[in-house]
Amino acid sequence: MNKWKTTACFLAFLTTSFLTASAPTFAQAASSKRVQLICDQKTIGQGGTASFHIIYHNVQNKKFSNVFLQIHVPDGLDVDVDDLDGGFWNAANRLLIWNLQNVNESEARLIHFQLSVPPGSKDGTVYTMTCIGDEDGHRIETSGVTLQMGEEIHQPFFLGFPDGNFHPTSYLTRAESAAVITNLLHLQNDPSPERPYTDVPRNHWAARYIDEVTNAGVMRGYDDGSFHPDDPITRAELVTVLLQLRGIEAVPVRGFMDTQHHWARDAMATGKALGFFSGTGNNKFAPDEPVERQAAAVFFDVTQFRGPLIDGDIPVVQHFPDVPRTAWSFGWVEESAKTAHESVGKGRSEFLLRYVGK
């Protein structure tokens, strides 16, 4: 019997024993991602812990009495059984299982859990996981998510200024955002858009970057044919880009008090639910406010599965005079800018091993 049949039998046993489930008639899905599996990092070190999230979104036109979600945990990963967010650990089959009950039409729910690597695990080992779901008898499945043992070399992507400073409290412009995204995605040599923006002349310092992100579909201009390159990018716009770069589909979950009627409401709420950011205080996000460059460093680090750079085998060097070690953003800025480095994931932080080329 294959793995899915075994799992289906187990789920059927749970359903028959404890619940009464009916087989629904399914409507056409309104979304390509009814279930998403997300890991906060790509690599993990010896004894490290990685945070995972499951997003389930009922896109059918009916209420589901039972939705089962399950993940097969590969050998070599330990499960924190005390923090499964309502889940059940079937140790014999190494299955994490959740039963979501009475999920309303268009409702989304999030699940959070952690897996750890015991000391002595072999560097280079790649763990691959998928989340398989059962919506009242209908199977859904995510693509595979990988977590690799060992260190990783991180390249810088955030530019400083010719004066040697980072200008952490200056607002990030749309042109600067285009430059950062081009560096992140290694975009190059794409042709100019068919309709160049009216306010981005060919001699603009960011013209190439704006072309690149436009052709990649990551950023776009306005209906009047302009791009507003020197305008600050807003917090809502940056969050939307963040989720797009991570391949995460926004869902309708509880968000911030000041975003309930905003065009990017679901994106901001999803980012909050995943723990990517916490807002400006008092459960507010200030969606249309500009973004300081130091805050943008946090946003973009998250898109790259990176946390703040912290002292490891060697101390983190201060590369910008205006971002001292005492600054709250020091680790985030150093992770994103100036110098390539080798690090290993320690929770949501990056443990510095060495600088590359030094």
Whether 274 and 110 have beta carbons less than 8 Å apart is answered as: yes
Alpha carbons 87 and 108: distance in angstroms, whole number: 17
Sign of the CA dihedral running 270, 274, 280, 283: positive
Q: If the chain, 358 residues long, is cut into consecutive pieces of 10 residues, what is the mean pLDDT of each piece?
A: 39 33 26 82 88 95 94 95 94 97 95 91 91 92 93 91 96 96 85 76 92 90 94 94 93 94 96 90 94 95 92 96 98 94 86 88
Angle at 56 between CA 53 and CA 61, to 5 degrees: 170
Query: Which residues lie below 8 Å from residue 311, measured CB to CB, with a gap of 6+?
Result: 352
Whether 107 and 56 have beta carbons less than 8 Å apart is answered as: no
Which residues make beta-bridge pairs with 309? Answer: 350
pLDDT of 130 reads 96
Please give the model's pTM, rounded to 2 decimal places: 0.83
Distance (Å) of CA 305 to CA 41, 155, 174: 5, 13, 22
pLDDT of 191 reads 61
Whether 314 and 275 have beta carbons less than 8 Å apart is answered as: no
Alpha carbons 157 and 181: distance in angstroms, whole number: 8
pLDDT of 193 reads 59
What are the strands, taking DSSP E only, across the chain? Answer: 35-39, 43-44, 49-57, 64-72, 78-79, 88-90, 95-103, 108-116, 126-129, 131-135, 138-141, 145-149, 152-154, 309-310, 341-346, 349-355
Where do the domains of the chain lie, and which CATH numbers do they carry? 3-20+28-150 (2.60.40.740), 155-307 (no CATH)
Q: What is the DSSP secondary structure assignment for residue 270, as one 8-state letter?
A: H
Angle at 349 between CA 145 and CA 290, to 5 degrees: 90
Structural tokens at position 218: 């990551």
pLDDT of 167 reads 98
Structural tokens at position 12: 């059927």
pLDDT of 48 reads 86
* Pairing assessment for the beta strands 145-149 and 43-44 based on DSSP bridges: parallel
pLDDT of 5 reads 39
pLDDT of 119 reads 83
What are the phi and psi torsion angles at 169 (to 5°)?
Answer: -95, 0
pLDDT of 356 reads 93
